[in-house]
Amino acid sequence: MSLPALLRAIVKRLVAALAVLSGAATLAFLTLQLIPGDPVAVMLGPGNAASPEIRAEITHEYGLDRSPAEQYLHYLGNLLGGNLGESYQLQRPVTDLIGDQLWPTVQLALFALLLAVTGAVALAAATAGRHPALRAAASLAELLAASTPAYWTGILLLTAFSFQLRIFPVAGAQDFASLVLPAVTLALSLAGVLAQVLREGLEAALAQPFVVTARARGLSDTAVRLRHALRHAAIPLVTLTGWLTGSLLGGAVLVETVFGRPGIGALTLQAATNKDIPLVIGLVLLSALVFVVLSTVIDLLYLVIDPRLRTR
Amino acid sequence: MPVNRSRALVLAAAGSLFLGACSGAGDTDGAAAGATATPVSGGSLTYAVDTEPVSFDIHASPQDITGAIQRNVFDSLVHQDSKGEFHPWLATKWSASKDLKTYTFHLRDDVKFTDGTAFDAEAVKINFDRIVNKSTKSQYASSLLGPYTGTTVVDARTVEVHFSAPVASFLQAASTPYLGFYSPAAIKKYGSKLSAGGAAAVGTGPFEFTSYTKGQSVTLTRNPAYKWAPSTAAHTGPAYLDKLTIRFLSQDATRVGALTSGQVQVADPIPPADVKTVKANSQLQVLTTDAPGANYALVLNTTQKPLDDIRVRRAVLRGIDIDTAVKSVYFGVYKRAWGPISPTTPYYDKALENTWTYDPTLAAKSLDEAGWTGRDSDGYRTKSGKRLSIEWPLMPQEYIREQRDTLGQAIQADLKKLGIEIKRPRLDIGTYIAKVYGGQEGIADYSWARFDPDVLRLYFNSSSDPREGGQNATFYKDADLDKWTDQAQTTLDKNTRQDLYAKTQQRAIDLALEVPLYVRTAVVGVASDVHGLKTDPNTWANFYDTWIGK
Amino acid sequence: MTTLTVAAPPRRRPRLRTAVRPAHVATAAVLTLIVLAAAFPGLFTSASPVDTDPVHALTAPGAAHWFGTDQLGRDIFARVLYGTRTSVWLGLGSTVLAVAAGSVLGLAAALGGRWTDQALMRLVDALLALPPILLGLLAVTILGPGTLNVMIAIAVAFSPGYARLVRAEALVVRTSGYVESATVLGLRRPLLVVRHIVPNALGPLLVLATVGFGSSLIAASGLSFLGLGPQPPSPEWGTMLSEGRNFLATAWWIGVFPGAAITFTALSVNVVGRRAQARFTRRTDG
Amino acid sequence: MSLLDIDGLDVSFGTVHAVRDVSLRLDRGECLALVGESGSGKSVTARALAGLAGRGASVTARRLTFDGTDLRTLKDRAWRDIRGRRIGLVLQDALVSLDPLRRVGAEIAEPLRTHRLLSRAELRPRVLELLSDVGVPEPARRADQYPHQLSGGLRQRALIASAVAASPGLLIADEPTTALDVTVQAQVLSLLAKLRGEGTALLLISHDLSVVADLADRVAVMYGGRIVEHGPTDRVLRSPRHPYTRTLLDAVPTAHAKGTRLSPSAPSGLPAEPAGCAYTPRCALADDGCRTALPVRDDHATLCHHPLPATTAAKALPTPTVIETTPPGRPLVVAEDLTKRYRAPDGTPYDAVRDVSLTLHRGETLGVVGESGSGKTTVARVLLGLTEPDTGTVRFDGVPWTGVPERARRPLRHRVQAVQQDPLGSFDPRFDVERVIGEAVALAGPRRGRARRARVAELLDQVGLSASVLDRRPRELSGGQRQRVAIARALAPAPDLIVCDEPVSALDVSVQAQILDLLADLRRDTGVTFLFISHDLGVVHHVSDRVLVMRNGRVIESGDVAAVFTNPNEEYTRQLLAAVPGGAQA
């Protein structure tokens, strides 16, 4: 790839990223304008003690007395300066809040991803194209994992391993042990879906003529699976993993709630149910950013995995 | 007396934090086991609570949990014991002018904030001025200061606090953590960021606010220089505990699990369903304390059809099997309520007990008399073709505590048997407040924690209009109720007050303005090696005297 | 081509069929039960899902109450049964809405002009950038909680994905050999669109929607679990699960049975969906 | 003792008996060709010899020895020692037979690494040596490239390099040239010849007798899982004894066959019984005896009840009928200076078609021949009105055909129809045969109902299909049947012109023969004009009146087909003709 072409590709991707980000921000802003109810009431919570003067003060301070168009422009202006505003409810800068909560969720997501991908690869590589009974059993297990809501899995795991067996702590994010159950919960459904796709990919790859060629060279079955087929199956795996990683953020909402973990998911739930507009938009932007970054990473991984795509 | 000690305890966001003494009235060792043993210094304790503060700024936050946590970090001018008596704390002595418009405090001269700043008259002025500053957006502390006009620094050790109207309850207000003192240096440095807690929260208290991890925990560490505890405390000098961690575990099951598996030493609250399990555990004990203030009740809006008809209200009052419902939802841990205020509240009228038992026949008769004689296909009563239907909105789930939604389902089922339809739409909090306190809903449900029968004025005096920040969601205007609750404030004569408050309580039930449901009860699980848990009159935990045994 | 293609089929296909068949019988049975329970819950139990019976609160599963009772003494079996309608309706309704919205968006993008395509696809991109649960959460925040609103929220959350798929399929179909053949025959464009492009573009979507139904069901129950769904006392699985969460230590059955109901429904739908997918792929592969 | 000695090899998959009683011998430095159509069992035989018949395959033999090793009893571990080390396997189309995600060098080195023949350091030099041995220029650069970056010919050589890396004594090449252009095919065949010359035993699998003619010492023809004829190449080609071999030879459209039928005109149609000769239904000579009993192998290893006499083989079968053609009329399509520019994936523009002019006369067949990428298909698409040329014009029957809105073209569309290489992709997958053809019928004939159905049946009859396929989906049909359906659809609106783009290149040679005969019949019966595109010179020669030779988007030579093929003006045309295996040109 020539340098100008490379630059063009980079610029193109950046523009696309900006488009997605600003689109998501605008969408969120417009959406939140539709929310009935007064944000000040949200900020003040269910109490009725705040005087009308304080309400007026808050309204003014957050610019809520201005027109939506003004608020939007003001918001965009701040956004360009990297300022996401201040949470209505928590009265702290949105960037601080997100920064504080990001790490536990990233930990959770990465560990879950690791578990899911390892599990899926192991299961798929072991069962693809094998005895039908084995495949059927694996397939059922995968479907079951994919069909079980994470919040239920979490509750069951919690009951079994924390309350009854007391192997893992019941809540929090203070150490590695507390990461295990939430990560397993998130990973299970993920692994189910991934294993299915991966096995299909493997079986498709194993049906390819080059597999016969490879075996004709004296390669063992395992070597064929690992050295040749797995890489082919990795393309759908990467696509799906990328997509599912984005959705882990959503899964975190439920899992963090069940396990009482701090994190982006818990923050999202709090922000959404409290109509904390700046925080919600901040989270939407974060999510969009994750999406953009992930799609870039996926595209790069495609290039790493599949040389045929490199000519583009 | 001005309405300045009111605390929206029960309104859900202000989650409860009643910690432990065996009796709500005693400044005694809460976790009494091994009380005779010698306290030892050191160790750390983890305390699990169900609510996470939205703001840690004691001057701004209206939340109980904020006060409960910060009580360990901030001291007050005076200390109030559970009998209502005041003791010196940061102030060695005080006096009030005759017109109760000026209070003078003489301060200790050896108090330092944990950042080294000295506590002096200037610090008092800066803090009080900050509370009333509009930009602080105080939702509670400013109401405690009421008609505050300013503070005069007489000298470094003497301040005068001025009001535009008499404030009889100021000493009580001054004893709460909400009128505690930030280091002036911290106020200058952190300004509006005080709500984030952590290093910004610099007080004079027995613990230092070390760190806050949102969604997870707060860590407090011992203030080694502390030597100005109120005289009521069991010891002097620094606190025993090295470290106090407060974990936020909003899920009941998780919180209880954390206690039973030994990850936390104190958990509050323990849901009634789990009390039996916790009690059965030899490593744990359960401390229950009735809370003072207004009981959790259905507050009936007397301006909305059909509840404007007293016969319908009475039917609702007598048509709910409260005994059974409360017993099954709360496993006998919470007591059912018989009147607007709880038994631990001064001037509670015991005579009301068992006077309005469950009587579905009577309730049905009452409805018949009110003309609701028809029945529609769903089995609900009708009058001239209209269904007997009452709306009772639900708050967002996160604001709901103590399984009140479950209790609500039991009530719904009982009233359905009677032919009354209860509709429970889920409203967002803004809409909820606008509609409920705007008088557009049939039923509101809340309780109100307050160590004073003046809560009755808040609830039933027509001047306490919710549209202006009051709590009379019955919207009932009754000359007697107004007169009695106003009069009770102007006198300190106990017999007069007893009489007035008893009449008020009886009339409220007689008019079926509300349906008292249960007495809020603090249920705390404590590991048996925890000693010396203290509570203040708000029933909040004070960990100053707490130590961990072997 | 060589005999490779001859050698392959006899090895794979019949085995696949026989291996999966018993599972399909079971699935069909479960699905029938679910449909019956949704339509006539009264067939299976005489207990009421809403009547309280505090005397028998928290009874463990047994002969009188197969799934036990909850805190107010309501029969969990009856509640799970009556909850079927709400939960399945939530999943089904949101899937239908999402598929409909996604089809319209995707077809409009693929068959409309370049600018329509650009505008619609940027919108879809922005929506796709948000995880479905977040989108659903936002939508419920705007609409407020409730059965219909959760349905709409989940539809909003899933429709961008469907739109993407429909557009991609429509673009593939538009340049496919058979559309070219039809063009060569001189078929009018509206006829071409209606007869060839739309049905073929929507085919894979309908298959995906089967699997999507399971996801919608789980997501909708998730919102209910967070307290945003149908309001009590109407029984709904996610809401029940949320209620049961507080009784894990004392009364496991309150949470376990509704959770199992969600899982089994999603599982049987997914089995059907996977089968449809496999069949579809086989069909298009020739 | 022979290197490879097979006696009575049987391979079955469950109830499907793919290979029956195959006996073969092969010596070092010898080349044996295994020839047959799809499903004849030739590939299964080849794979069974490498122990790769597939899971679920049951392989039995009276004798199966390779270089003294009894292959029948080998365990998986021992098979792996033989595969790649002592028996090499080359499959068709290296694009899919080489792992597309790995570098060419790594693929070639794999047998060496697997069998631990060389140290890591020695691998690279050996790989480069192998690449240069198989005639790949710039081996160092090529070794670091990926298969898709190599041309088809280089790729196939790399695949062969990988198969011979460990110097196996036997090389099995399964359709090694099928997907290649004719010139490249010639190069690959000569590479194989070189290997044989170096002492490697070669088992060559092909569906095309002409391909193996130059290379093979002996030919074994397979049908229905059995070897039906086996003998020296020369003898089999010159004087086939089995009717099936005869059919295969006749099916190849060679120069001398122009104007004759390629497929046997009178198959017996007798149903075969399991015990009988499998070729019975397609055999013109079959009788009841063939149906019920398996023939005994004669001294020429021919498995037939009615072997053709050694000398008069050609006459035993019905003589090929000469097909009459109609003389060309006035111009139907006039295309002038067509240019179409595309952008390569890397952004560089290239001309797919450049300054192409052609005229199609009513009733004639114009052949367009060229290798892949020569622009043939783009020309077809422009003539079909599917692609607008950048410059240049097409007039159809005097009316502008390009540069006009689709609305203007639509009324004429039914007069220009198409038959594609991949008929399956051109059918709506939801449609059955009746709807596929019915849709076309409705455009210019009865729109619905019985009349339409009758017309569909008539068209099916015209293309030699029975009405029983009406309710079948095209994917349930065989390749030849699908192509017939596609032709029926093209005929439905009674077009003036049918553009055929590689209509037979995906078909077995015998099926190809049938389709070519069908097209010839149609041409005679309907007088329809054809534009016939193919990479196969023999096919183009067979069907065309005039021919255009295309290369790199340009027409480099055109003229009467006989003239161009016998006396080409251009060097490139000569190369093309020279490369045709088996000396198909006159």
User: CB under 8 Å to C172, separation ≥6 — which residues?
Assistant: C201
Best probe of the D interface among A217, A222, A227, by most D CBs < 10 A, is A217
Q: Residue B426 is nearest to which of C72, C144, C233, comparing CB atoms?
A: C144
Buried b (16+ CB within 10 A) or exposed e, A85-94: bbbbbbbbbb
Parallel, antiparallel or unpaired: strands D226-232 and D218-223: antiparallel
- Residue C9 has a CB neighbour count (10 Å cut-off) of 11
Query: Are D174 and D91 spatial neighbours (Cβ–Cβ below 8 Å)?
Result: yes
Tens of pLDDT, residue by residue over B506-539, are 999 999 999 999 998 888 999 999 988 876 667 7
Confidence (pLDDT) at B238: 93
> What would the pLDDT profile of D135-182 be if each residue is shown by its tens digit?
888 899 999 988 888 888 888 889 989 998 888 999 999 888 877 788
Which tens digit of pLDDT belongs to each residue from D201-237? 999 998 888 788 888 999 999 998 999 999 999 888 8
D38, D413, D418 ranked by CB distance to C3: nearest? D38
Question: Choosing among A134, A213, A310, which should be mutated to test the D contact, i.e. which has the most D CBs within 10 A?
Answer: A213
The residue that leads in pLDDT, B13 or D377, is D377
User: Cα separation of B504 and B514, whole Å?
Assistant: 13
Q: Count of alpha carbons within 13 Å of B318, Cβ hemisphere only?
A: 20
Q: Is B147 helix (H, G, I), strand (E, B) or coil?
A: coil
Interface test with B, best of C240, C246, C252 (most B CBs within 10 A): C246
Q: How far is A150 from chain D (nearest CA, A)?
A: 36
User: pLDDT tens across D46-60, in order?
Assistant: 889 988 887 788 899
Give me the pLDDT at residue B359, please: 94
Q: The tokens of D354 are what?
A: 């450049």
The DSSP 8-state label assigned to residue D324 in this structure reads P
ipTM here: 0.77
CA angle centred on C197, ends C191 and C201, rounded to 5° = 150
Question: Is there a contact between C183 and D386 if contact means CB atoms under 8 Å apart?
Answer: yes
> Is any Cβ of chain A less than 8 angstroms from the Cβ of B55?
yes
CA A280 to chain CA centroid, Å, is 16
**Closest chain C C-alpha to B254 CA, distance in angstroms:** 9
Inter-chain CB pairs, A–C, below 8 Å: 144
Q: Which long-range contacts (CB under 8 A, 24 or more apart) does A114-119 make?
A: A115/A183, A115/A184, A115/A187, A115/A191, A116/A186, A116/A187, A116/A188, A116/A190, A116/A191, A116/A194, A116/A241, A116/A244, A117/A191, A117/A194, A117/A237, A117/A241, A119/A187, A119/A191, A119/A195
B54 interface with A at CB cutoff 8 Å: yes
C-alpha to C-alpha distance for B414 and C22, rounded to whole angstroms: 48
Sign of the Cα torsion A119, A123, A124, A125 reads positive
B208 or A59, which is more confident?
A: B208
Contact C187 D439 (CB under 8 A): yes
Chain B contact set for A103 (CB, 8 A): none
Find residue D201's DSSP bridge partners. D170
Distance (Å) from the C-alpha of residue A246 to the closest C-alpha of chain C?
A: 6
Cα separation, A6 vs B425, in Å, equals 57
Locate D277 and state its tokens: 């000769």
Q: Which residues of C touch D386 (CB under 8 A)?
A: 180, 183-184
Q: For residue range A268-278, list pLDDT tens digits in order.
A: 888 887 778 78
Q: Which amino acid is at C56?
A: H
Place of tokens 């020569």: D374
- Nearest of B227, B210, B238, B266 to residue B46 by alpha carbon: B266
The partner residue sitting opposite C218, judged by closest CB among A27, A143, A149, is A149
Q: pLDDT digit string (tens) for B430-470?
A: 788 888 888 899 999 988 877 777 789 889 999 888 887 77
Helices C253-285 & C4-39 angle (0-180, nearest 10): 140
Say yes or no for a CB contact (<8 Å) between C231 and B394. yes
Q: How far is CA B63 from the centre of its chain?
A: 9
Question: A212–D91: do the CB atoms touch at under 8 Å?
Answer: yes
- Answer with the residue of higher pLDDT: B291 or B158: B158
A156-170, C179-193, D524-538: segment of lowest average pLDDT: A156-170
Query: Measured between CA atoms, how close is C20 to chain D, in angstroms?
Result: 19
- What is the Cα–Cα distance from A6 to A2, expressed in whole angstroms? 6
Whether C248 and B394 lie within 8 Å, measured CB to CB: no
Q: How do beta strands D365-369 and D546-551 pair?
A: parallel
Over residues A234-250, the mean pLDDT reads: 80
pLDDT of residue A46: 66
Q: Which of C52, C141, C250 lies closest to B277 in CB terms?
A: C250
Inter-chain touch A92–B6, beta carbons under 8 Å: no
The answer to whether C25 faces chain D, any CB pair under 8 Å, is no
Asked if B382 contacts B306 with a C-beta cutoff of 8 angstroms, the reply is no
Provide the 8-state DSSP code for B449: B
B461-497 pLDDT per residue, tens: 998 888 877 789 999 999 999 999 888 777 667 788 8
Task: Please give the residue of chain D at the shortest CA–CA distance from A8.
Answer: D347
- Please, which pLDDT band fits residue B265 given cuts at 50, 70 and 90? very high
CA nearest C269: which of C148, C91, C132, C133?
A: C91
Q: Rounded distance, CA A222 to CA A130, Å?
A: 12
Q: What distance in Å separates residue D73's CA from the closest CA in chain C? A: 22
Of D38, D411, D493, the CB nearest to C2: D38
Distance from CA of D374 to the nearest CA of C (A): 21
Neighbours of chain A (3+ CB pairs under 8 A): B, C, D
Chain A interface, Cβ < 8 Å to D: 1, 5, 208-210, 212-221, 223, 228, 231-232, 305-308, 311-312
Q: Report the gap between the CA of A229 and the closest CA in chain D (Å).
A: 9
C-beta separation of D16 from D274 below 8 A: no
DSSP letters for D32-86:
EEEE--TTSSHHHHHHHHTT-S-TTEEEE-SEEEETTEEGGG--HHHHHHHBTTT
> So where are chain C's domains?
67-285
Label residue D174 left, alpha or beta by phi (over 0 means left) and psi (-120 to 50 means alpha).
Answer: beta
Q: Which residues of C84-121 are buried (b: 16+ CB within 10 A; e: fewer)?
A: bbbbbbbbbbbbebbbebbbebbbbbbbeeeeebeebb
Supply D290's token pair: 């063939």
Size of interface C-D (CB pairs under 8 A): 108
Q: At what angle do helices C198-225 and A150-157 cross, to 10 degrees?
A: 40
- Taking residue A12's Cβ as centre, other Cβ atoms within 10 Å add up to 10
CA gap D66, D87 in Å, rounded: 9
Query: CB C270 to CB A146 under 8 A?
Result: yes
C72 CA: distance to closest CA in chain B (Å): 7
Distance CA B346, CA B1 (A): 15
% chain D with pLDDT above 70: 94
Nearest residue of chain C to residue D479 (CA atoms): C1
Cα dihedral C152, C154, C157, C159, rounded to 10, equals -70
Give pLDDT tens digits for C55-111: 787 888 888 888 888 877 889 999 999 989 888 888 899 999 999 999 999 999 988
Rounded alpha-carbon distances, angstroms, from residue D258 to A7, B550, D247, D536, D549: 57, 108, 16, 14, 19
Q: What is the C-alpha to C-alpha distance for residues D176 and B215, in angstroms, rounded to an integer?
A: 66
Give the DSSP H or E segment for C79.
helix C76-111
Question: Which residue has better confidence, B455 or B57?
Answer: B57
Residues of D in contact with A215 (CB under 8 A): 52, 83
Q: What is the pLDDT of residues A18-71, one digit of tens each?
A: 887 888 778 777 877 776 666 777 667 666 556 677 777 778 877 777 888 888
Residue D556 DSSP SS3: strand
User: Which residues lie below 8 Å from residue B363, measured CB to CB, with a gap of 6+?
Assistant: B314, B315, B316, B317, B318, B319, B418
Ranges of beta strands (E only) in B165-242 are 207-213, 217-222
Predicted local distance difference test score (pLDDT) of residue B1: 30
D111 part of contact set with chain A, CB < 8 Å = yes
Q: Which fold has domain C67-285?
A: MetI-like fold (1.10.3720)
CA distance D262 to D273: 27
Chain B residues with CB inside 8 Å of C51's CB? Answer: 413
A/B Cβ contact: 3+ pairs below 8 Å:
yes
Q: Could you give the CA distance from residue D518 to residue D528 in angstroms, rounded to a whole number? A: 13
Mean pLDDT of D226-250: 88
How far is residue B326 CA from its own chain's centroid?
20
Determine the longest span between alpha carbons in chain D, in angstroms.
Answer: 76
User: Stretch B219-239: mean pLDDT, rounded?
Assistant: 91
Q: Provide the shortest C-alpha distance from residue D196 to chain A (in Å).
A: 20
Phi, psi of D309 (to 5 degrees): -60, 145
pLDDT of residue B3: 29
Contact partners of D by the rule of 3+ C-beta pairs under 8 A? A, C
Hey, is the C-beta of C138 within 8 angstroms of any chain B C-beta?
no
Residue-range domain boundaries for chain B? 44-289+523-548, 293-519
pLDDT tens-digit map of D100-136 = 888 999 999 999 998 988 888 899 999 999 998 888 8
B-chain residues near A44 (CB < 8 A): 62, 139
State residue C188 phi and psi, 5-degree precision: -70, 150
**HSE-CB of B184 using CA atoms within 13 angstroms:** 13
Structure tokens at A121: 């690869």
Cβ of residue C72 closer than 8 Å to a chain D Cβ: no
Q: Is the pLDDT of residue A175 over 80?
A: no
Q: Which domains does chain D have, with CATH numbers?
A: 28-53+76-238 (3.40.50.300), 239-322 (no CATH), 323-415+495-586 (3.40.50.300), 423-494 (no CATH)
Nearest to A307 by CA among D147, D141, D345, D95: D147
CA distance B65 to C120: 48
* Chain D residues inside the 8 Å CB shell of A5: 346-347
Helix (H) or strand (E) holding D11: strand D4-13
Residue burial D394-425, b: 16+ Cβ < 10 Å; e: rest = bbbbeeebbeeeeeebbebbbbbbbbbbbbbe
D263 or A116: whose pLDDT is higher?
A: A116
Question: Which of B394, B399, B409 to mutate to probe the C interface, most C CBs <10 Å?
Answer: B409
**Quick check: B42 and B242 in contact, CB under 8 A?**
yes
B281 vs B406: CA distance, rounded Å: 27
pLDDT given at position A20: 79
